[in-house]
């Protein structure tokens, strides 16, 4: 059946009006997504406000060292390594998005006093990291695996290995996500404590979009849409040249391999409270949910910091205990 000429003319007119509008809208949305990823990949850099030197008042020997090591993509990471003079479990602490390693120094020192070796470092794009951009977790997971490799090779001045075969990971939001993702790939990770964590990069982007649109109902509907997730994943892949893996954190918690988990959450963290509880519910094996007044997504002071740090120390003491043999600070080899 032939379509009337008048109908064809109407279809052509609609086509030439509608298609350019759709293309313009699509290009506009793609540009907004790329701009968002660009902004997130360049967080404001905060300065270190304290160092381990501030904690070394009564010690005769240095118990910490400035360290540098190479990542798998040939970039470099920097951090502080707090060590003892014997083999012990090693804990690696990853700060949150927009923060730096000094935010976790009180916790690092409390864990060191409990007998652990502690590595606390700056994520790329943060603090004193030589890398001036953030991979939003797509590169940082590999950086954390490189940090685990680094601590495995630490020795005393007499050549004794400091590594006893057990690693614990702690992280806040972005640092928590990569701690779960890295744990899924390294069987030496025996315990993981995470604060305000999420299952994938898309949820991280969604949380920042939510904070931008506030309570706007239309904006929230757009944030929750499936095509928005697709475009964000595409923008991450184009801008960062790395695929945003969809479920590495879920894989880590759902595999029952004898690993212990601590999920820390606070009600004022919004979407992060939701996703932390969801991951806790998915986790298999030994796990605990710690509800605190304030998350370490913000800087903690005095009693809040003391109580928080004590809970994290208690978790690691139960999950990967240190032997009771007395240890002393060591010199770097």
181 and 203 Cβ atoms separated by less than 8 Å: no
> In the prediction, which pLDDT does 7 show?
64
Structural domain that includes position 108: 52-200+245-319
> Beta-strand (E) ranges in the chain?
64-70, 76-82, 88-94, 117-121, 163-172, 189-195, 260-265, 287-291
Instruction: Give the residues of the chain that fall short of pLDDT 70.
Output: 1-30, 57-62, 211-228, 244-247, 324-333
- How far apart CA 238 and CA 240 sit, in angstroms, is 6
Residue 9 lies inside a defined structural domain of this protein: no
| Beta-carbon contacts of residue 256 (< 8 Å; ≥ 6 apart) | 284, 285
Residue 236 lies inside a defined structural domain of this protein: no
Residue 224 lies inside a defined structural domain of this protein: no
> In the prediction, which pLDDT does 332 show?
47
> In the prediction, which pLDDT does 328 show?
45
Residue 312 lies inside a defined structural domain of this protein: yes
Residue 225 lies inside a defined structural domain of this protein: no
Residues 33-64: pLDDT tens digits? 788 888 999 999 899 998 888 877 655 566 88
Residue 7 lies inside a defined structural domain of this protein: no
Residues 221-264: pLDDT tens digits? 544 555 567 777 777 888 887 876 656 788 889 887 889 999 99
Residue 88 lies inside a defined structural domain of this protein: yes
Q: Left, alpha or beta for 285 (phi > 0: left; psi -120 to 50: alpha)? A: left
204 and 210 Cβ atoms separated by less than 8 Å: no
Residue 182 lies inside a defined structural domain of this protein: yes
Q: Left, alpha or beta for 190 (phi > 0: left; psi -120 to 50: alpha)? A: alpha
Of 112, 88, 94, 151, the C-alpha closest to 322 is: 88
Count of structural domains, the chain: 1
The CATH number of residue 149's host domain is 3.40.50.1820
> In the prediction, which pLDDT does 107 show?
96
């Amino acid at each position: 059946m032939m379509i009337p000429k008048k109908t064809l003319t109407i279809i052509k007119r609609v086509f030439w009006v509608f298609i350019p509008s759709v293309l313009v809208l699509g290009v506009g949305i793609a540009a907004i997504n790329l701009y968002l990823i660009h902004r997130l990949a360049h967080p404001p850099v905060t300065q270190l406000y304290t160092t381990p030197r501030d904690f070394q008042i009564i010690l005769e020997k240095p118990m910490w060292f400035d360290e540098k090591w190479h990542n798998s993509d040939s970039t470099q990471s920097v951090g502080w390594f707090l060590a003892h003079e014997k083999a012990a479990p090693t804990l690696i602490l990853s700060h949150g998005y927009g923060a730096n390693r000094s935010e976790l120094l009180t916790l690092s020192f409390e864990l060191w006093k409990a007998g652990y070796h502690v590595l606390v470092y700056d994520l790329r794009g943060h603090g004193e990291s030589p890398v001036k951009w953030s991979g939003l977790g797509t590169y940082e997971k590999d950086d954390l695996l490189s940090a685990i490799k680094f601590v495995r090779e630490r020795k005393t001045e007499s050549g004794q290995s400091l590594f006893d075969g057990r690693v614990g990971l702690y992280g806040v939001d972005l640092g928590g996500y990569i701690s779960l993702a890295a744990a899924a790939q390294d069987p030496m990770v025996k315990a993981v404590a995470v604060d305000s964590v999420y299952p994938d990069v898309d949820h991280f982007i969604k949380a920042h979009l939510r904070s931008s649109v506030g309570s706007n109902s239309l904006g929230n509907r757009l944030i929750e849409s499936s095509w928005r997730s697709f475009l964000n994943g595409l923008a991450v892949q184009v801008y960062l040249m790395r695929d945003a893996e969809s479920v590495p954190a879920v894989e880590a918690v759902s595999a029952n391999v004898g690993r212990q988990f601590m999920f820390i959450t606070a009600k004022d963290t919004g979407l992060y409270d939701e996703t932390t509880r969801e991951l806790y519910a998915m986790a298999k094996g030994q796990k605990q949910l710690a509800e605190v007044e304030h998350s370490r997504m913000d800087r903690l002071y005095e009693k809040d910091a003391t109580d928080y740090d004590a809970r994290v120390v208690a978790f690691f003491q139960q999950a990967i205990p240190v032997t009771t043999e007395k240890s002393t600070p060591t010199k770097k080899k």
